[in-house]
Amino acid sequence: MPNFKGQDQSVKKFVVEKAYLQFVFPFALKKDGADDLIQQLRQQGYEFFTLDNVHLQDKYYGDHIVSHYHMERIFLPNIEPIIFPTDSTKKGGFRRFSKAFNQEYFLKGKYLQTNFHLLSIDIIICPFQIGMMDIRVELPDNMSYSEVMEFTDLFRVMEPLIDEYSDIQVGTKSHSYKEIKDFVFESLCPFMKDFLDQKNTNSSYFGSLPFYIDERLYVIGYIALQEDSMVDVEEIYRLGNISGFDNKGHPFIGAKNPAYMKRFYDNHVYDRWADETYYVITDYMFSCITKSQGELAHMLANQMFGQYYYSFLLFYYYRIILMKLTYDQRRIHKGRNEVEVDTLIVQITEFSAKIYNPEVNSRLAGKEISSYLKKVLGIDNLFNQVNKTLNDLYKNQERMTSKRHNSLLQILTLYAVVSGIYGMNLVIQNWEGEIKWDKILHYTIFEDIALLVALSGIGISSVMAIQAVKSYIKEKKRGKKKYL
């Protein structure tokens, strides 16, 4: 809800026959907390999602069905183990737990009041202590386009930081909340607060990843318009930027320059089936807007719950983890902790080898939409940056190792020379057989130096031997450790 309204703009009035919205909240899991979270999810009635459980096809999506048979053939074979792990113990995949709610709630804002149907919630445990929550919502039939945009804009704000978003209520008549954050983490999923990693004191927002701006939820949307609706560039721009009502309660577009909106259209809109169906991808929303009817409309909604949902999750996760790895490199740069550097190198290598895949879909439309997701979310640039980070880490590690070896060699050479000259020739005879302790009191300064060098050399050698054994044991443990 911005503080301006584009002047001399006519905002078209559309009727939205059907609107399904999915709000995605990424979060950091507490270290080694995944197993406890899985146990808690099962106790709360969440079910582990696998393609083998065909009874789940119509459980979480309202009147829609996501065919597991078709889902198995949409993605490349090397992608399936990542997004569809067959067991909840497989830490290298997206372990999805879902629960159907099917409950009615209301949302009230300054210029909007409406009921909505909460269909289901997914809690997805991803590799590298990252999690994602997905909240599926169905809006009432025949809302106006502006009302749908306003609802989306209000619901995605977890914690309002400006006045325009502070005047909301959400919940039921008996119990409502003034923040979406409280509604989610006190009413819907109160147990989740115990598993969020909030050690980062510099984070400005609840549950924030310190390397990711997530004060607002990402939105996956399906919006079905009436068949005679005339969709233009301005309304698609409104969708991509989630422009509902301005601060006076008027529908607004958020831009005035047609050339600017056209450039936005060219970079963010997949229009293979225009002027009937468009896919809009931005930093805030991935949506299908269509005026298709009947079976085709039903199929498009199914895709947004199924294949395109998983395509988005995969690239969205890529974006998050790539930013996390870059952030970790900057965080440890000053301290140059060897263990942390080694851990980061292993994490980057494991992500690149086991998780990251530039191609995920086997169908043409899926490949083309994935290319838009990659471009808009900046996956290629982030991946290149992480590769550069890996090269820098290797160079720094080699430089540090070389410097440490040179210093060690200098120390050992010094001790070998000094102890050889002084220790063996000056005081060694007093240590043969029974040590003559009384003669130590009568040593000359050179003999004192020789004794000191000999004893300190023995001590340093012993310490170095102990450290070598400890390093070997730690290296063995790190080799067995699972970083996913």
Q: How far is CA 171 from the centre of its chain?
A: 28
- Choose the weakest-confidence range: 315-324, 372-381, 431-440, 455-464: 431-440
Any residues with CB less than 8 A from the CB of 316 and at least 6 apart, and which?
24, 26, 132, 218, 377
Calpha distance 156→21 (Å, rounded): 10
pLDDT at 268 over 90: yes
Residues 75 and 199 in one domain: yes
Q: What's the first-to-final CA gap in the chain, in angstroms?
A: 40
Residue 1 lies in a domain: no
Residues 142 and 210 in one domain: yes
| pLDDT score at 73 | 86
**Chain length of the chain:** 484
Residue 81 lies in a domain: yes
Confidence of residue 472 (pLDDT cuts 50, 70, 90): low
Residues 272 and 175 in one domain: yes
Q: Which of 336, 362, 378 is the last residue of a domain?
A: 336
Mean pLDDT of 259-285: 95
Residue 358 lies in a domain: no
Residue 5 lies in a domain: no
pLDDT tens figures, 173-188: 999 999 999 999 999 9
Mean pLDDT of 79-94: 92
Q: How far is CA 193 from the centre of its chain?
A: 17
Point out which residues pair with 48 in neighbouring strands: 97
Residues 401 and 332 in one domain: no
pLDDT tens figures, 140-167: 999 999 999 999 999 998 887 666 666 8
Identify whether the C-beta of residue 229 lies closer than 8 Å to the C-beta of residue 61: no
Residues 317 and 438 in one domain: no
Residues 149 and 249 in one domain: yes
Any residues with CB less than 8 A from the CB of 8 and at least 6 apart, and which?
none
| pLDDT score at 72 | 85
Q: How far is CA 37 from the centre of its chain?
A: 17
Q: From its phi and psi, is residue 250 left (phi > 0), alpha (psi between -120 and 50) or beta?
A: beta
How many domains is the chain built from?
2
Residues 231 and 331 in one domain: yes
Q: Which residue has the higher pLDDT, 450 or 107?
A: 107
Confidence of residue 390 (pLDDT cuts 50, 70, 90): confident
Quote the Cα angle for 470-476-479, to 5°: 140
Q: Is 311 exposed, middle or buried (0-12, 13-18, 19+ CB in 10 A)?
A: buried
Residue 381 lies in a domain: no
pLDDT tens figures, 404-428: 777 777 777 776 666 666 555 555 5
pLDDT at 6 over 50: no
Residues 101 and 173 in one domain: yes
Confidence of residue 460 (pLDDT cuts 50, 70, 90): confident
Q: Which residue has the higher pLDDT, 92 or 204?
A: 92
Residues 247 and 124 in one domain: yes
The pLDDT > 90 percentage for the chain reads 52
pLDDT at 245 over 60: yes
Q: Which of 336, 355, 380 is the last residue of a domain?
A: 336
- The 3-state DSSP class for residue 472 equals helix
DSSP 325: H
Residues 268 and 415 in one domain: no
Residue 404 lies in a domain: yes
Residue 385 lies in a domain: no
Query: Across the chain, what does the average pLDDT equal?
Result: 84
- The 3-state DSSP class for residue 113 equals strand
Residues 312 and 403 in one domain: no
Residues 101 and 166 in one domain: yes
Token pair, residue 73, equals 């053939």
| pLDDT score at 213 | 55
| pLDDT score at 68 | 92
Supply the range of the domain harboring residue 475: 392-480
pLDDT at 210 over 80: no
Token pair, residue 227, equals 């068949």
Q: Which of 336, 365, 383 is the last residue of a domain?
A: 336
